[in-house]
Amino acid sequence: MKIGALAERSGVTTKTIRYYESIDLLAEPQRTPSGYREYGEEAAERLRFIRDAQSSGLSLSEIQSVLELKDAGARSCDHTAALLERHLEEIDDQIARLQVARAELVELADRSRGLDPAACTDPHRCQVIAASD
C-alpha cells in the first residue's frame, strides 16, 4: 500500500510515518520502480502499536526500546510493565503535588472571602496573596 493508504489505515499522518522512518521506529519500505514507498500490513500494525503505546503514556524512546526487544525476538512484557510502573509512580507524585497546590489555593480562596477589599492599601501586593503578619 502507498503511504496515504497506510496513514489512513493506521490513524497517523504521512508526516508522522516519514518521521518514524527517520528515527528508525518504522523500517524504510521498499520502493516501486517509480520511487513510491510501498508498505505491507505489518507497517500498519506497527504504527497502530506505536499510537496505542503513546496513548498509554510511553515516550517514543520507550516505545523504541520495546520494539527493539520484539525485533530481536525477545519477550518485552517485563520491560513494558516496568516502564508503565515508572509512569504510574510519576503520575502518583504529580497527583500528590497537585493536591498540595489545591489545598493552598483553597486556603487562599477561603481567606479572600473574609477580606475587605477597602482594606487593601498596599500598592505593590494584593492582600489575598500577601501573607498575614
Residue-wise pLDDT for 29-81, tens only, equals 999 899 899 999 999 999 999 999 999 999 999 999 999 999 999 999 999 99
Q: Are residues 113 and 87 in the same domain?
A: yes
Residue 63: how many other CB atoms lie within 10 Å: 21
Q: Are residues 103 and 67 in the same domain?
A: no
Q: Which of 74, 93, 125 is the C-terminal boundary of a domain?
A: 74
Of 63, 38, 15, residue with least CA distance to 7: 15
Tally of structural domains, the chain: 2
DSSP state of 35: S
Longest Cα–Cα distance in the chain: 80
Question: Is residue 88 very low, low, confident or very high in pLDDT (cuts 50, 70, 90)?
Answer: very high
Is the pLDDT score of 132 beyond 90?
A: no
Q: Are residues 111 and 55 in the same domain?
A: no
Q: Are residues 64 and 87 in the same domain?
A: no
Residue 20: how many other CB atoms lie within 10 Å: 20
Helices marked H in 25-118 — which ranges? 41-55, 60-71, 77-113
Residue 22, domain extent: 1-74
Q: Which of 74, 91, 112 is the C-terminal boundary of a domain?
A: 74
Q: Are residues 21 and 39 in the same domain?
A: yes
Cβ-contact 69, 79 below 8 angstroms: yes
Q: Are residues 96 and 56 in the same domain?
A: no
| pLDDT for the residue numbered 123 | 86
User: For the whole prediction, is pTM greater than 0.85?
Assistant: no
Angle at which helices 14-22 and 41-55 pack, to 10 degrees? 90
Q: Are residues 99 and 50 in the same domain?
A: no
To the nearest 10°, report the CA torsion of 113, 119, 121, 122.
Answer: -40
